[in-house]
Chains A and B, each alone.
Chain A
Amino acid sequence: MIEDAVRLIPADDSSWRIEAYLRRGGYEAARKAVTFMAPQDVIAEVRRAGLRGRGGAGFPAGLKWSFVPQGGTAPKYLCVNADEGEPGTFKDRAILVRNPHALIEGLIIAAFGVGIHQAFIYVRGEYASIAGRLEEALAEARAKGFLGRGIFGSAFGLEVVVHFGAGAYICGEETALLESVEGRRGQPRLKPPFPAIVGLFRSPTVINNVETLANVPLIIGRGADWFAARGIPKDGGTRIFGVSGAVRRPGLYELPVGTPLRTIIEEHAGGPPDGVAIKAVVPGGLSAPVLKPAELDVPMDFDSLARAGSMLGSAGIIVIGDRTPILDVLEVTARFYAHESCGQCTPCRLGTSWIHKIVSRIAEGKGRPADLELILDLAVGMKGRTLCPMGDAAAMPVHAIVSKFREELERTVIP
């Protein structure tokens, strides 16, 4: 486990106040960056730390920042993606509740590094009830002079606006998020151009996940080397692993990147309850293809999971016990993506719905022998062919469930 001073999620519930954060050494990193560092050195430090995006795609954060064109007087924006919608994922929520100042400090540093003076925090609508702390924390930071004009007595200024979503999974996709902030229907944009060049209000925009930014003060405060050493090469730091499902101690576990999946489940989350065996594990949010019990020794980092045919994604681990029919898992998965497809592009709109209709029919006991092959075929028809990554996010788990649990499903389909 991680020592308290550098925990992203402090154990103490009162830790979210600015006084508590300052006692932990809070805002020293931001002060250091803004008053002592050159913006490009901030970016270089984050690049060297190997911080990869915690939202799911794992794109190196510093590299993303470096894509934003420098110079010029045109506005640039920073959007914080707090639209935590991936099923099995609840880590950003904990940061917003327990450690909102880590996010705010991280976004001050990021904005300073990239030369941004206006930030938006896009919070999923379902988190409106817990976002009061974020708003209060922002007010605290403003009162201390950490936000607004002339931060830390420098010439650097930053304004932050909190914007609420309205319950659409797709708005977690970065360009759909931008559309939503602009007040339009939340659906993804065609890329290129990428947001770093043409983003919010057609201006260069950085979009980072909550956990990604909350890590930034640690990098600037303690150095890239310290941060990198806590993870593995090219994938530095810790991850907040959210474990849910068939385990004794579901919850959030902040552990070094690269901790084996089996260790997280068995040692930290206490393994499955008595009399239950693990049937399958979703390692990184629902979109990540399931792993079978024999595949659980994989280190939890982006590249290792990609090699294992799945993905680290948002590091939301869903443990499925042997008492859960795999058809139920398939049905829930298919229903979720059919419900959340924005409907903009053909393969996702019709593929998710068709798959859900087939799975529902199977669940009603009206399966046909050709159904499973058809589902696999439809998943192939979606994967890599859609306008945004949601097509893959929907196709991959369905394909993995059907291909890895074919025997069990066949017994269900043809009773």
Chain B
Amino acid sequence: MSDVKMRGLTIDGRTVRAAEGTSVLKAAELAGIAIPHFCYHPAFEAEGNCRMCLVEIEGLPKLDLACSTIVREGMIVRTSTPSVLRARRDVLEFLLAEHPLDCPICDKAGECKLQEYYDRHGLFPGRFVEAKEKRDKKVAIGKGLVLDRERCILCTRCVRFLRKVTGTGELGVFERGVRAEIGIYDGVPVDNNYSGNLVDICPVGAITDTDFRFKTRAWFLRKGPTVCSHCSRGCAVIVESVTGYPLGEGQRKVFRIKAGENASVNGTWMCDLGRAGRRDIDERRLVRVMSNAAPEEELSWQKALADVTAMIRAVPGPERSAKIAVVLNSRLTCEELALAKKVFTDGLSLGKIFFADPKPGAADGLLLTEERMPNARGVLQSGFAQLLPDLDTLMAAEVLLVFGSHLLEHFSEEAVFRALAGIRSKFLFSAHASPLDRSAKIVFPVAVPAEKSGTYINIDGLRQSFGRAVEPPLGVTSELEILGCLASGLGLNRGEPDAC
């Protein structure tokens, strides 16, 4: 950093220092001065088409773009003179002239740049009395995305994203003048693993996602930042959920997952697989402790966990290593893994500790990794070996604790059931319902990663701690708490759950 040349300039009377090559817009932002803009996006070169960021630069005869003008030593910039304000107002008036103004039914309402800027820089009565252009309002452009050409302000962020980030270039600008429009080429749809970002970067409601369309309003959403758990990249994401109103009392729903910002991991993007992870948080969830012997009966956590500890205690110390088996997974946080280590390895001296994880998929060269679990590095750092069990070994156990349902990805349901049939005490700790549930003596519902706080270590060895992004359903708890209960139930020194 020391060899970066700094430039001193004045923006609205404030002295600002910015690195050589910084745009006026960015320099102003660093100084806390927001210059409105639609087409500029920090991930792309300046495009300069929206004309919203025009500012006054001393010595220049005309207003100039803040997004594309690079800072110079001694530059004097003014961002709120009458001529700048007039230019902004004019751009807003031009854009709104042909805009459908259908905010009441637009999903972007509440987080729309056009709304926001009109509120802050517009507030003029409309002077456009002509017939507005009629355009297609629901063009399916692929991957569940819907393009509304009446709302589009042609900032071309979507076009540039597909050309510069994914390199797939499915969208282009067609026609010209007021009839210019975004579209796909010859009916070939948007088809890449990053399509959801188009919705994130659209500054207005032109590109929406059928998964979110008409489901809720932006202002009801509670935004919880976390780290994505669907591969080992560890992208910053934001889980957006509603708890209670306008849903029913006690109800909770995750409406979408958006990309968060992390310059050293994902920039401002995330993949569609991670985005689809919203279903993981809401769907097929186990929400109560259940004994397969009496599935209808209410079973308390205390009673069920007491059963687990009793079964473990029933195995004499020297035999535990051979007769108790544990299957963990790499979605557990470092904190959970550390505690598992204390309980199972240090406390109970178990030998049969295994891992069952989602199978690897194809990496896409952008963010998505082959590994489809978030914390494989954490597993290794905790001192575990990421060893898949063989069913014969499991069959020999008398007590089996399984965390997660990924055994079924590696073995057929039939084989797993056959192997587990002879085991007396089988306990399953899982967030989601699966066929494995029926094979367990007791099924415990656990939290998904978005409902936990903890630490993951990503594919590059980066440790990332995160907080709880969304509240778990009532009656659901994390593996960390379960392991803590087991530790105290077994009279083991739980110690501090220090991170791995």
Query: Which residues of A are interface residues toward B (Cβ below 8 A)?
Result: 168, 170, 185, 190, 338-347, 349-354, 357-358, 361, 368, 370, 374, 380-381, 384-387
Contact = CB atoms under 8 A, between A and B. Distances in A.
Contacts of A168: 176
A318 B420 CA distance: 94
B51 A353 contact: no
B179 A343 contact: yes
Contact of A346 (B91, B127, B175, B177): B91
Contacts of A346: 49-52, 91, 94-95, 153-154
In the A-B complex, list the 10 residue pairs whose CB atoms are closest, starting with the nearest. A343-B180, A353-B178, A381-B90, A350-B94, A357-B130, A341-B177, A190-B48, A384-B62, A343-B176, A345-B49
Contact of B94 (A338, A339, A347, A370): A347
Interface residues of B, number: 36
B176 A341 contact: yes
B66 to A, nearest CB: 13
A358 B127 CA distance: 11
Contact of A339 (B173, B177, B180): B177
Contacts of A190: 46-48, 65, 68
B63 A385 contact: yes
Contact of B178 (A170, A185, A349, A380): A349
B459 interface: no
B97 interface: yes
A385 B50 contact: no
Given A354-B128, A384-B63, A347 B177 contact: no
B177 A340 contact: yes
Nearest to A356: B178
B436 interface: no
Contact of A350 (B46, B47, B98, B172): B98
Nearest to A338: B177
B50 A341 contact: no
Contact of B177 (A352, A358, A385): A352
Given A340-B176, A352-B178, A385-B87, 9 more contacts: A341-B178, A345-B49, A346-B154, A357-B131, A361-B130, A370-B127, A374-B127, A384-B62, A384-B63
A164 to B, nearest CB: 18
Contacts of A350: 94-95, 97-98, 178
Contacts of B172: 185
Given A349-B178, A349-B180, A381-B90, A387 B63 contact: no
B281 interface: no
Interface string B288-332: 000000000000000000000000000000000000000000000
A385 B154 CA distance: 17
B54 interface: yes
Nearest to A384: B62
B300 to A, nearest CB: 63
Nearest to B155: A346
Contacts of B177: 338-343, 349, 352-353
Contacts of B63: 384-385
Nearest to A387: B48
Interface of B is mostly: loop
B48 A381 contact: no
Contacts of B97: 350, 354
A354 B46 CA distance: 27
A381 B54 CA distance: 12
B93 interface: yes
A331 B90 CA distance: 23
Interface in B67-108: 68, 87, 90-91, 93-95, 97-98
Contacts of B62: 384-385
Given A352-B177, A385-B90, A345 B130 contact: no
Nearest to A373: B127
27 contacts: A185-B172, A185-B173, A190-B46, A190-B47, A190-B48, A338-B177, A338-B178, A343-B179, A343-B180, A344-B173, A346-B49, A346-B52, A347-B51, A347-B90, A349-B94, A350-B94, A350-B95, A350-B97, A350-B98, A353-B133, A357-B130, A380-B90, A384-B62, A385-B51, A385-B62, A385-B87, A385-B90
Interface of B: 46-52, 54, 62-63, 65, 68, 87, 90-91, 93-95, 97-98, 127-131, 133, 153-154, 172-173, 175-180
A351 B94 contact: yes
A115 B337 CA distance: 68
Q: Which of A170, A346, A357, A370 has the most CB of B within 10 A?
A: A346
Contacts of B176: 168, 170, 340-343
A284 to B, nearest CB: 21
A368 B129 CA distance: 10
A386 B129 CA distance: 24
A384 B56 CA distance: 12
Contacts of A170: 176
Contacts of A361: 130
Given A190-B68, A343-B176, A387 B130 contact: no
B436 to A, nearest CB: 55
A316 B63 CA distance: 30
B128 A344 contact: no
B133 to A, nearest CB: 8
B49 A347 contact: no
A168 B180 CA distance: 14
Given A338-B178, A352-B177, A374-B127, A345 B90 contact: no
B273 to A, nearest CB: 33
Contacts of B87: 381, 385
Contacts of A387: 48-49, 51
Nearest to A386: B51
B51 A345 contact: yes
Q: Which of A344, A361, A368, A381 has the most CB of B within 10 A?
A: A344
Contact of B50 (A342, A345, A354): A345
B322 to A, nearest CB: 69
B375 to A, nearest CB: 44
B185 to A, nearest CB: 12
Nearest to B70: A192
Nearest to B95: A346
Contacts of B154: 343-344, 346, 349
Contacts of A338: 177-178
B323 to A, nearest CB: 70
A345 B93 CA distance: 14
Contacts of B48: 190, 345, 387
B85 to A, nearest CB: 13
Contacts of B178: 338, 341, 343, 349-350, 352-353
A381 B49 contact: no
Contacts of A344: 49, 154, 173, 180
A185 B128 CA distance: 30
Contacts of B51: 345-347, 385-387
A343 B153 CA distance: 10
Nearest to A357: B130
A261 to B, nearest CB: 27
Nearest to A351: B94
Nearest to B67: A190
A254 B62 CA distance: 35
A354 B130 contact: yes
A387 B53 CA distance: 12
Nearest to B132: A357
Contacts of A370: 127
A400 B473 CA distance: 68
B152 to A, nearest CB: 11
Contacts of B65: 190
A342 B93 CA distance: 19
Nearest to B172: A185
Nearest to B98: A350
A182 to B, nearest CB: 14
Nearest to A354: B97
